[in-house]
Structure formats: C-alpha cells, structure tokens
Structure 1
Amino acid sequence: MTKEPDLFDLPDPQTLYTALQSRDPSYEGRAFVGVTTTGIFCRLTCPARKPLAQNCRWFGTVAECLDAGFRPCRRCHPIATQAEGDPAVQRLLAALEADPGRRWSEADVQAQGFDPSTIRRAFRRHFGMTFLEMARHARLRQGVTRLKTGDPVIEAQLDAGFDSASGFRQAFARLFGHAPKAMQGAAGLWADWIDSPLGGMIAVADSRSLHLLEFVGRKALPAELKRLSKGAGGRIGLGRTPAIDLTEAQLQPYFAGQSGGFSVPLTLHGTPFYRAVWQQLQRIPPGRTVSYGQLARELGRPTATRAEAQANGANQIAILVPCHRVIGADGSLTGYGGGLWRKQALIELETRIAGMA
C-alpha cells in the first residue's frame, strides 16, 4: 500500500488554526480541517462559522478525512480540490453529494456513461478509495449515527440508504464483528470511533479501562471484536465511556508530536505470557525500536522469539501497547496489522517526539 501524505507534513495545529481563521488560501488543497462536533471536513478557506480549536482535527488529504469518518462540507466542497480536472469524477461526486444515501453499484456507474474500471482507478488516484467504497462509507456512517442515538435498527438501515436490513447488518458486522442489534441496550463494553491522522480507529472500553484500540482496516479487527463480545456476554454497545474519552484526549498530543506518554488504564486479554510481552512493550520508550530477539532477551526468554512474535501480533491495543516499535533483526519494518506505512509513520513521529525530550 502506498503511503498517503499525512498530518506530519503539515504545520503545527496552532498555525493551521490561525490559517483557518484567516481563510489563508496558501493551504488550498494541502490541508483540511475535520470538525468533531459536526462530523464535517472543510477547506481552510470555508466561509462557514469557525469551530473552536479543541474541536478541530487536521488532515493533509481528502482520503484521510474520509477514512477518519468525516463527510465533506456542502458549503466549501473540499473534495473538488482533489479532482477539479476530471469531469467524470466531478459528475459522480456531485451525484453522491445530491443523494448520499443512494446505494450505488458498478451498473449504476456504467449507466452514467462511465467505464467502471476507469472510475475505480480515478477515484483511487485522487482519494485512495473507490467511488463505491466512498458511497458505502457515507451510508454506513449515517447508520452508525442513528444507532448511537438509540433509533431502531430498521430506521438506521433506511437512513443509511441500504435497501435491505441484511445488507446493512452485513456491512456493520464487517466493521464491529456482530450485528448492530447486539450493540444496543445495556452493555458490558462500549465501542466508538476515534479519529486519527492515520485513519479511523475503533476503541472498546468499560467505564474504567480500555480493552481494544485498532485501526479500522486491520483484518483481525472483526475476530477481536467477536472475542470481546463473547467475553462480555454479547453486550458491546455503541457509545462513549470515560476511558474512551481519555484515550482520545491523550492521542491528540501524541499525533501532534508533543507527547509520547499514556496513562489510560488497560485491560489486556491474553495468556500470562502474552500479557508479559505486552507489558514489556510498554517499557520501550518512544524513539527506540528493538528486534524480536532483543525483546525476547529482555523478557528473560531468549529462546522464545517465535512465541514472542506471535504475542506481538496478537496485541489488540495499538499505539498504547507499542508493538510497532518491534522490527526485524536487519532493521526492516516486518509485519504490522495496521499496515507497514502506518508503522513507519508512527516510528518517524516518535523519533521526533524523542528528539524534543
């Protein structure tokens, strides 16, 4: 996967907020603001009323905004900056904006007079995702919003633009690991979305501690959520807890390159050996990387490299349990469930944080 331009190429948040307030045109197409209170992202030149600084998230590309769960502003049309020279993309974006709940198919794209494969390539080039993926994100986001307010599943499904309850449940289950009805009512654990410069993250917590923090694209996420759901008696709800709020609050200065420390209480689900590995990972300071062999030796288990690597891969609390700090003996990044481009970005960020200490 090719790494997209990211937040770390941008100025600091205060500089960006000043540019937003003055509608500085020099950032046109290079910086975007996501407003957490509305779920909308804008150009910095947007004429809309300016949000408070603490409600802003900063992004370098439209793809990052969409991945983080924000929808484009209807006043400043931020998506247009990425594809102004492509009439086909502009036409489909206009159609999506006019009817964000529509369930699009390749046949619909073809009916508009476009070759589906050409459109797939064009959208991936401009936004890092296909047109159909963009449309599906919009529908699912609407449905999740309705569910969080306590609306019945069928109303959320219709609001999200799915023409069948099974279609909505399938899409929802791919994200959360089980059907949406299982995420309403009294819950033992709560799940919610956290925005990050490297894409959306799912956090699961009880009132006191964090149980899971994963990037949405991680293949193991559905299985991890199913295991947590089983352990909670099927009671994982959609919503916030103080532990999720604290996680989000501490991730903000981390991604801003200001702090590498976390104090969020964690609940680690695994064998005693796995938990020992994860606790050792937390002792690796930001800016330092170790090999699998080094980590095994530091654990006092120098022959357990393979088992240690398995524990590392089974970690389900990204960043706070920093499995990304473990690399190959030859210095290669090796595997990372969130994607090697994210692993590289996290290591680069932490190198800068360590340099400021």
Structure 2
Amino acid sequence: MKLTEERMYQASLDKDSSFEGIYWMAVKTTEIFCRPVCTARKPKRENVEFFLTTEEAIEKGYRACKVCQPLKKLNETPPYIQELLTELTQNVSLKIKDADLLKRNIEPVTLRRWFLKNHGMTFQAFQREFRMNAAFKKIKNGESIIETALDSGYESLSGFNESFKNILGTSPKNSKKQMVIDLKRIETPLGTMYACATDEGICMLEFTDRKNIEKQFTSLSKALHAEIVQGENKHFPQLETELKEYFEGKRIGFEVPLQIIGTDFQQKVWQLLREIPMGEVRTYKQQSELLGNLKAIRAVGTANGINKIAIVIPCHRVIGSNGDLVGYAGGIWRKQKLLELEKAILF
C-alpha cells in the first residue's frame, strides 16, 4: 500500500505499531511531534503534517512529545538502569537493596515495574538470577561450591543450593551436566534487542518487541536442552562492538561466532542469507533457485521467518518478486531502515 498522508493519519488514529519508525506526525496547534502509537488525543486532519525523520520535524520547529517520547529508541533501557547493570556485571556478588536505590534517588517501585515489564521479574529476582549464572560458570570451571556460595554473597550453603536449583533447574553438585544459555538486552539505533549465547556462540538476536518472542525463547531452550538465564557471555562484547560498527556504516560483515540451530534445509537457507553481499537483495524465488528447488519458495520464506539471529544472518535482504518488503518479524519499517543503511538498490 502506498504511504499517503491519509494512510499515515489513519495509522495514527489506529495506533498502528507497524508504522513505528516510518513516519512522525506533527501537530501544528501544539507544535509537538509524535510516534504513530502515541496515546495522546489525536488532532484533526487539517492540523497535522508528516515527517519521515525526527530531524525534519525539529528543523521545522516542532518539539518532541512528552507522552510517546519520539526521540527515544524503542524499548531503550534508561541510563540509570544501564548503570545498575554495569555495576552488577563488574561485581556479581553485589546486592543492591531498596535502601541503596533510595540513596541514589531511584524509586524502588518504579524500578520494579520496569523489570517486571521488560524482564518478567523484579529487580531483586533479576539480581539473584544474574548471581546464579555467574556461580554456575565458576562451578563449571572447577571452583568449589562452598567458595562460590560465599563469593555470591550467601552465608548459608542450603540457601545457595535452593536458589541455584530454583533458577537453573539442578543442584550445584549436578550442574556440570547442565547447560545454560546467557541472555542480555542490547541497545541499537533501531530498538533494544535480546541476545542469547552459549560457549559456542550467539544463538539468538531478536528485537524485544518481536511478536511471539516468548515462543522463540521456549523453542531455543528446548532445542539446546538448556535454561535461559540473565547473565554475561564471552561473545556479547564482540557482538555489541560489531553491531555498533555496522550501524555506523563501518562494517560489511559479522565475525562473531554463531551457534545456528535448525534442520539441514534451514541451515542451507540461512547460509545463503549470509552470502548475500551488503547493498544487495534477493527474492525468495532467487533463493530457491540457488538451492536447486524452484518449488521451495514457501519453505524458504518459512525458514527466513524463523531465523533467530536477526541482522547477523540478514534475512532482511530477501524481498518479494515485485520488490515489496515483505515478511520481516522485526517489522517492515526495520527492514526498510536496514536496507537504507546498507544502501541496497531495490527492484
């Protein structure tokens, strides 16, 4: 569908999230511009104009809406929370209590709500999971259970054992047979992403607002027979560095190790995706031809759709035969932005 002003206005009335990042609506009477999903009262059609970038709206004299905050990245982790997470990373035995939060002028209830919304758990539960992940790695590397318990801030071995088992599904004694998938939120210019990794490499990279993201987690956990736990991983720094370079236009390919999970056919499809050069696109039909099976177009589309490692395995470089940007789980607007970043020439 052609992106007319009437279509954009209707999308704002409908609070249609599929238009996020494609346009911004400015209100002439208030001199404010908003996201398509803004919950503020919608103005009359004659009182609005549309912009394809926030810079254009600002140059025209409009201010950012305080309700939908159009200048913020989607689902971005607030700076004060990023600081807390950095502290936990640097000192895994650290226990930040409500009293500590108040000393920093952080309202515990506000922090609790943010973690429940974005992590499905309270901040205190997040800290426990983070500590248990680090403890798991220490025991796996041969450190004693008692020393690990003390280093993790536990005075009681029984308390440590109970927390360990609740989070990792096994006792510390039996943990050497257990596998853990590390989980972290990563910020990008197109919104926050979930990154998952094992010792072998990155096994998942998805935007946090992807539909059915929980099913993705469940599928990954089942495929690897492992618990997904908040924590650091040796591959995360490289991933974050390479993503930063990519969005800055300084990187044309990714070198971070991957652990790709799928059938033989899916693996072939994803390998073909990695062979599409930056700045180029292919159709589903062309991908099928390269596989030597013209009847596999639908199967190729399905494999693209269940790709768990967005951007690094560039399923955004596959488009419809008529040039339409179709089938991207992260949102068509992101597919468009990624191809614009890569300076891809569409049909």
TM range (shorter): 0.5 to 0.7
Aligned to 2:167: 181
- Percent identity for Structure 1 against Structure 2: 32
Aligned to 1:214: 206
Distance 2:111 2:196 in 1: 29
Deviation at 1:216, TM superposition (A): 0.7
Distance 1:229 1:135 in 2: 21
* 8 A Cα contact 2:116 2:122, kept in partner: no
Amino acid at match of 2:213: L
Could you say if the C-alpha distance between residues 5 and 327 of structure 1 is closer, same or farther in structure 2, counting changes exceeding 3 Å? Answer: closer
Distance 2:338 2:203 in 1: 21
Equivalent of residue 146 in structure 1, options 127, 133, 140: 127
Deviation at 1:149, TM superposition (A): 4.1
CA displacement, residues 123-152 of structure 1 (integer Å, 9 cap, x when unaligned): xxxxxxxxx989945996845752454289
Deviation at 1:305, TM superposition (A): 0.6
Could you say if the C-alpha distance between residues 147 and 338 of structure 1 is closer, same or farther in structure 2, counting changes exceeding 3 Å? Answer: farther
Equivalent of residue 346 in structure 1, options 313, 331, 338: 338
Aligned residue runs from structure 1 range 1-357, under 5 A: 1-4=18-21, 61-64=70-73, 67-71=75-79, 99=107, 101-102=109-110, 136-137=117-118, 142=123, 145-147=126-128, 149-150=130-131, 181-182=167-168, 187-351=179-343
Amino acid at match of 1:246: Q
Could you say if the C-alpha distance between residues 297 and 348 of structure 1 is closer, same or farther in structure 2, counting changes exceeding 3 Å? Answer: same
Aligned to 2:40: none
Following superposition, which runs of at least 4 residues in structure 1 exceed 6 angstroms of deviation?
8-11, 132-135
Distance 2:126 2:297 in 1: 44
Aligned to 1:157: none
Secondary structure of 1:280 counterpart: helix
Secondary structure of 1:67 counterpart: coil
Secondary structure of 1:263 counterpart: coil
* Structure number with larger C-alpha Rg: 2
Amino acid at match of 1:292: Y
Deviation at 1:287, TM superposition (A): 0.8
Amino acid at match of 1:181: I
Secondary structure of 1:204 counterpart: strand
Distance 1:5 1:300 in 2: 36
TM-score, reference length from structure 2: 0.57
Distance 1:205 1:134 in 2: 21
Secondary structure of 1:321 counterpart: coil
Distance 1:350 1:230 in 2: 34
Distance 1:151 1:188 in 2: 11
Could you say if the C-alpha distance between residues 143 and 199 of structure 1 is closer, same or farther in structure 2, counting changes exceeding 3 Å? Answer: farther
CA displacement, residues 253-275 of structure 1 (integer Å, 9 cap, x when unaligned): 10112212101121211110110
Pairwise CA RMSD of aligned residues? 3.7
TM-score, reference length from structure 1: 0.55
Q: Structure 1: which 5+ runs fail to align?
A: 12-27, 31-59, 74-96, 105-131, 153-179
Distance 1:139 1:300 in 2: 44
Deviation at 1:103, TM superposition (A): 9.6
* 8 A Cα contact 2:115 2:122, kept in partner: no
Equivalenced residue count is 230
Distance 2:111 2:215 in 1: 27
